[in-house]
Chain A
Amino acid sequence: MPLTPVLTKRFGTDQPWKIENYERLDGYTGLRKALGMPPDDLIALVKDSNLRGRGGAGFPAGMKWQFIPQGDGKPHYVVVNADEGEPGTCRDLPLMMNDPHSMIEGIIIACYAVRAEWAFVYIRGEAVHAIRRVTAAVEEARAKGYLGSDILGSGFNCDITIHNGAGAYICGEETALLDSLEGKRGQPRLKPPFPATNGLYDAPTVVNNVGTLASVPYIVLGGADWFKEMGPAGSPGPCVYSLSGRVQNPGQYEAPMGSTLRELLELAGGMSRGKDLKFWTPGGSSTPMFSAKHLDVALDFDSAVAAGSMNGTSALMIFDQDDCVVRAVKKWCDFYLHESCGKCTPCREGTYWYVGIYQRLEAGGGTIEDIATLLDLSDNILGRSFCALGDGAVSPVTSSIQLFREEYLAHVEGDGCPFPGARALVGAH
């Protein structure tokens, strides 16, 4: 498997976030080409490329664009999901900090394709440096005539509003994001209707991830077949794998979809402290964890599902034999409890009971029934929650019990966490 930097290819060059440098490295040539094409051809091109959404669910981007009703007389919107908050996920922020123009170029092309004149970039509020870079880049693009009215003499008008969040993971869920963008609590909406018909301000709206849109200029330049040269046909293109945790060289590795952890680990110099791999997430904490048995699973949208998990955000958090899986899951449960929006009972209450049980499994006082209770709770959350956050909270719990039941039992038998030093930290916050 070769490395195939596309989205990350300008990283490390001389100030790639500045427009002159971006233009020098092919920047905005995709937009020029796109503006010379009929919008429907662009939608067909993106459909042909089989670009699947990089935000986690892997929904085909071209199909999403095609769902936007045309000739309906309503304004259309493109909303960029830059709320990056899934634990382990760290690729949209570096992209916006280093190469914001590729995202902006993708946004303008997407707007042109779906006949939208107004795009919103919803950036998580904590990401101040990405906010600066994107703000400056939008100003530069406007000054150069890539944004505004009659873009490059094409007659097409388009502008971008940057909207900064205020700290809420759930606002990454696309309908919660839209409510948040409308100035409300970020709580998910009932689907259907989908954003494609009833999105922002009840108008047809495309919601796409940063990486999805940043891929578009390359597809316009390289063509659908070029894109499909990388990765499997059903899930093609380059994938930015983010390796973190117990690896020698954590970071962003862009390789074809369908790469395996074995290959990626080798690139990253192996495990970091001479200990064996124990558990890892293929796509953030909301995707069921894998173990050393899964080193050769192809990490693309379809193969990861076939192996019992998901490609998610291709965020590979890697842990070794000295890491307590119960402690790891407890901390993820803390996260889901904190971030549950409270709208529906299974998730709001379920995450609360999860934390209580994990607390005592770690601190001492856990019982054998607690493991059964965790599974019972999981049954009542999975598929019964209003949005995918609840389902995501279940993933680490059930997958870890499935793979590491003995370690749970050791917590019960040993009356607390058997790993040195862990107990002292339970409830530290």
Chain B
Amino acid sequence: MTLPTNSDAGRENFRTSVIQLDRPGDPSVFGEQTRAEAAQIIARYPAGQSRSALLPLLHLVQSEQGYVTSDGIAFCADILDITKAQVSAVVTFYTMYKRSPTGEYLVSVCTNTLCGMLGGDDIFAALGQTLGVGDNQTTEDGTITLEHAECLAACDYAPIVTVNYEFFDNQTVASAHKLVNALRGGERPMPTRGAPLCSFKQIERQIAGFHTAETLAPDANTSGVPTEIGVHLAVERGESAPSYAVERTDARTAEASAARAASQPTSAHDAPLETSASDEQHPQDSGGAAEPEPGKGT
């Protein structure tokens, strides 16, 4: 039996790629506001469980410095009263904590099996060549960090590329080139699903749990054909789940049911269209009428 040698992996030994702790780290580079925000993060968790705040705290320091520096580690250790070794152990465990300066845009190409075989591997190779960088490296102008990603839970839109974690669906080598060229040219193309692009630091702030009405992007697109294909097909085929009656306990919902929009997909109980249950003039016996009803005009 022949066993492969280490060099068979044909890559840098990932096990030695630990964080650069070139100097002790200075927590005081983070100002009063960061301390106040750290306190807000800790307050999300039960009293006495401040260590739960470590993951969001690391996103917070990363949002200020673009990666987790020895200062960020020292700051988290200081705030939570744990050791820097404890913090470093966590930093090195998770992929999203970057260990070197990250570009304004983190471009992640899904190279897990499904996306990779549908074109993701070609996209990753092509972008690496165009940008002149390898995995987890940043272009000289500091705009783009390229990485390969594992499955991003969007396989029905394969191949997937994300920019600062916003979805660009169904990519090709050509569309991915166009995307990075636009980014390098100072543009911010709209993601297929997700909010308008911001910088890597800004998105890290959101991941740390700091949102504004604007960054929550309440009207941004969330869906696409694959997401809705099953419900649309069910309408087309006149199929639905078995029905059940909803007991109304609240006038507010009954009123609302009368005001609902016209083109809704199927539902658990949209079958009794001919009965009083679906009659919007009689919301009091509405039964299942608060359900969306396909093709019903108002």
Contacts and interface: CB of A to CB of B under 8 A. Distances in A.
A409 interface: no
Interface in A1-41: 2-6, 8-15, 17-18, 20, 23-26, 29, 32-33
A87 B158 CA distance: 12
19 contacts: A3-B233, A9-B231, A14-B261, A20-B256, A29-B249, A89-B151, A126-B149, A127-B153, A132-B215, A132-B217, A184-B54, A222-B242, A242-B155, A244-B158, A254-B230, A254-B234, A353-B4, A356-B5, A369-B1
B260 A24 contact: yes
B8 interface: yes
A361 to B, nearest CB: 10
A251 B229 contact: yes
Nearest to B52: A183
A187 B152 CA distance: 21
A168 B95 contact: yes
B151 A5 contact: no
B58 interface: yes
B11 A427 contact: yes
B154 interface: yes
A378 interface: no
Contacts of A167: 94-97
Contacts of B3: 353, 373
B231 to A, nearest CB: 5
Contact of A13 (B227, B237, B242, B265): B265
Interface string B1-20: 11111101111001000000
Nearest to B244: A222
Interface string B157-175: 1100010111100000000
Given A97-B223, A182-B49, A428-B125, A11 B249 contact: no
A26 B45 CA distance: 32
Contact of A181 (B52, B121, B162): B52
A206 B118 CA distance: 38
Contact of B233 (A26, A94, A240, A267): A267
B59 A164 contact: yes
Contacts of A373: 1-3
A332 B150 CA distance: 10
A274 interface: no
Interface stretch (A56-64, A297-305, A323-331, A380-388): A323-331
B153 A90 contact: yes
Contact of B151 (A14, A26, A335, A341): A335
Most chain B Cβ neighbours within 10 Å, of A92, A229, A428: A428
Interface of B: 1-6, 8-11, 14, 44-46, 49, 51-56, 58-59, 80, 89-90, 93-97, 108, 111-114, 116-118, 121-122, 124-125, 128, 135, 148-158, 162, 164-167, 193-195, 203, 206-209, 211, 215-220, 222-223, 225-234, 237, 239-242, 244, 246-250, 252-253, 256-257, 259-261, 264-268, 290-292
Nearest to A166: B94
A250 interface: yes
Contacts of A45: none
Contact of A6 (B195, B261, B268): B268
Nearest to B150: A335
A136 B216 contact: yes
Most chain A Cβ neighbours within 10 Å, of B90, B122, B135, B227: B227
Given A126-B96, A185-B89, A32 B249 contact: yes
Given A24-B260, A167-B97, A244-B114, 18 more contacts: A9-B241, A24-B257, A32-B249, A87-B150, A125-B55, A125-B207, A131-B206, A136-B216, A168-B93, A201-B46, A222-B244, A230-B242, A251-B228, A327-B117, A331-B111, A355-B9, A356-B5, A359-B9
B8 A359 contact: yes
A223 interface: yes
A384 B26 CA distance: 44
A373 B53 CA distance: 44
B240 A4 contact: yes
B59 A125 contact: yes
Contact of A429 (B148, B167, B225, B232): B148
A327 B158 CA distance: 17
Given A6-B268, A23-B253, A11 B239 contact: no
Nearest to B252: A23
Contact of A124 (B6, B114, B153, B240): B153
A5 B241 contact: yes
Contacts of B291: 9, 25-26
A353 B116 CA distance: 21
A427 B233 contact: no
Interface in A390-414: none
A404 to B, nearest CB: 15
B239 A3 contact: yes
Contacts of A425: 121-122, 125
B98 to A, nearest CB: 10
A128 B166 CA distance: 7
Closest 8 CB pairs of A and B: A251-B226, A356-B4, A167-B95, A183-B54, A166-B94, A167-B96, A222-B244, A356-B8
A294 interface: no
Interface string A124-147: 111111011101100000000000
A161 interface: yes
Contacts of B124: 428-429
A357 interface: yes
Interface string A324-368: 000110011001001101000000000011011101100000010
Nearest to A268: B229
A128 B117 contact: no
Nearest to A329: B113
Interface in A99-128: 118, 124-128
B55 A165 contact: yes
